[in-house]
Amino acid sequence: MDLSNSTQSAGLHAAEFGEGAFFLAVHGFPFDHEMWLPLVSYLSDDCRLVFPDLRGFGKTPLPVSRVTTMRQFAEDLRQFLTQKKPTSRIVICGLSMGGYVALHFARMFPECLSGLILCDMKAAADLQTAADNRRRRADALPTTGLSALADAMIPNLFAPAVDEEKIQKVRRMILRQSVNGTAAADRGMAERPDMTDWLPEIHTPTLVVCGEQDQISTPAEMKTIAERLPSADFATIPNAGHLSPLESPEVFAAHVKDFLKKIS
């Protein structure tokens, strides 16, 4: 994929494609903007696709401290938009960790948004055991390395029928991330607040999307999120797991197109 249309604003690297309504897609953990590239051929005629690398990931060189919170990521994106100066309100789409960031953004900066898309994510905070496991994993990462992280994560990311090429693409994406950036984000997710009580306050039109075979953020859990939001549609992606936009981009894009028409 030709990334000659790469840009940098407010310190965030981003790849951009197409023209039209501003569609900001926020990657999951521990990935970068390239997880969204399968959508380009399906959506670039409908909107201006903007895929940033979050602080400490991909080609974004912003410094990271020991912890990068979801709020910090959201504030980075607001500064990014201040410099990009979209001519109208935007749609923000986030997957997994990117969904946490998108939900923070929607609560903090609702005036910026015409639409919100939450993919394969949770509203609840980590239980104490899960949060402690994240912190231990982050602390051990300089020793265990990103290969061990990929080995641990990949079996839970995909539906069983996924092809090997997509698995290897995701593995390569994980392996090229910064150890410090990845660890800081893992600690930030461990600290994230329970967002369940925020959901009724989010009045932005929302699409909630989940892979039918997601083992991490189950369809039942995500349907509950959609039911708590004041203005939300819920869609499932057949034959997809936790990375539904990457596993089944054509079906995912079809739901996005329907949503964009609805809010236009």
Quote the CA–CA distance of 50 and 241 in Å, as a whole number.
24
- Taking a C-beta distance cutoff of 8 angstroms, is the pair 187, 27 a contact? no
Torsions phi, psi of 113, nearest 5? -110, 140
Quote the CA–CA distance of 242 and 8 in Å, as a whole number.
29
User: What pLDDT, on the 0 to 100 scale, is given for residue 115?
Assistant: 98
Name 9's Cβ contacts closer than 8 Å, sequence gap at least 6: 80, 83, 84
191-220 burial, b for 16+ CB within 10 Å, e for fewer?
Answer: bbeebeebbeebebbbbbbbbebbebbbbe
Please, what is the angle between helix 70-84 and helix 97-108, to 10°? Answer: 70
**Angle (CA) 99 104 105, round 5°:** 95
User: What pLDDT, on the 0 to 100 scale, is given for residue 74?
Assistant: 98
- Helix, strand, or coil here: 239? coil
**Angle (CA) 257 120 82, round 5°:** 65
Name 14's Cβ contacts closer than 8 Å, sequence gap at least 6: 6, 7, 8, 33, 50, 51, 52, 53, 80
Please, what is the angle between helix 179-191 and helix 70-84, to 10°? Answer: 110
User: What pLDDT, on the 0 to 100 scale, is given for residue 46?
Assistant: 93
User: What pLDDT, on the 0 to 100 scale, is given for residue 61?
Assistant: 82
User: Does the model's pTM come out above 0.85?
Assistant: yes
Name 75's Cβ contacts closer than 8 Å, sequence gap at least 6: 108
pLDDT by residue for the chain (264 residues), tens digit each?
A: 344 477 888 799 999 999 999 999 999 999 999 999 999 999 999 999 999 999 999 999 878 889 999 999 999 999 999 999 998 999 999 999 999 999 999 999 999 999 999 999 999 999 999 999 999 999 999 999 999 999 999 999 999 999 999 999 999 999 999 999 999 999 999 999 999 999 999 999 999 999 999 999 999 999 999 999 999 999 999 999 999 999 999 999 999 999 999 998
Nearest to 104 by CA among 134, 135, 72: 72
Write down all domains in the chain, each with its CATH number in brackets: 6-263 (3.40.50.1820)
